[in-house]
Amino acid sequence: MLEALNLECVRGERRLFAGVGFRLEGGEMLYLQGRNGSGKTSMLRMLCGLTQPASGEIRWRDRPIGKLGDDFRAELCYLGHLNAIKEELTPLENLLASARLAEDALDEDAALDALEMVGLRGREDLACRYLSQGQKRRVALARLVHERRALWVLDEPYVALDTAAVELVAGLIGAHLQRGGLAVLTTHQTVEVRAGAVRELRLG
């Protein structure tokens, strides 16, 4: 389903990687590994279409993602290392707003349910500015609870989370793979995902 052919990444004058390729089918997960600065985040941004590769091509369902455009983005869920939550809004408002902007149908009950799952029940009406780093990350990850898009691209999803939350996210990813979804993620932690086939790719 997702295929990367001969990708090359150049940042500034430096070539971070070249000739990288992989193919990922439904139910499979790809761990991107590599030291800091090896181009993991650049790779993820390329997979989303945010950055253009210096050469090479990314294909989704056998068609280049540049040509698919909105059709590809409708199947993509990207979670960057920035949380993409608004400090002034409450977790509930953040979740509903991001769903609306991504054109996902998410009603208030489902959003509350997602917040409960990530352990933020009782904080849903508190502006995010008052939350801790880990709690903010949980707000961002609450999106995944009801996310049914086929491709998840997650940049360091486990950062700032405690062990219980890491387990929870691993469980969400596992359930996603079981539904036949794909996931690409970077992490420096070894976390076991108990479903789907896990593949690894080391950059640099």
Partner 1 sequence: MFALIRAVVGRDLRLAMRRQADIVSALFFFIIVVSLFPLGIGPEPDLLRKLAPGVLWVAALLATMLSLPRLFADDHRDGTLEQLALAPQPLGLVVLGKVLAHWLVSGLPLALLAPVLGIQFDLDADALWVLTGALLIGTPALSGIGAIGAALTLGVRGGGVLLSLLVLPLYIPVLIFGAGAVDATVTGMGAQAHLSLLGALALGGLFFAPWATAAALRIALE
Site for partner 1 in 27-66 (CB under 8 A): 48-52
Q: Does 8 bind partner 1 (CB under 8 A)?
A: no
Q: Does residue 173 contact residue 4 with C-beta atoms inside 8 Å?
A: no
- Using CB under 8 A, pick the residue from 17, 60, 78, 152 that binds partner 1: 78
Give CA–CA dist 111/115, Å, rounded: 6
Strands 197-202 and 182-186: unpaired
Give dist(CA 11, CA 41) in Å, integer: 12
Point out which span in 75-83, 117-125, 162-170, 191-199 binds partner 1 (CB under 8 A): 75-83
- Phi/psi for 132 (5° steps) reads -80, 170
- Residue pair 1/60 in contact (Cβ under 8 Å)? The answer is yes
Show the site string, 82-101: x = touches partner 1 by CB under 8 A, - = not: xxxxxxxx---x---xx-xx
Is the CB of 127 or the CB of 166 nearer to partner 1? Answer: 127
Binding track, positions 120-139, relative to partner 1; x by CB under 8 A: -------x------------
In the complex, the smallest distance separating the C-beta of residue 46 from partner 1, rounded to whole angstroms, is: 10
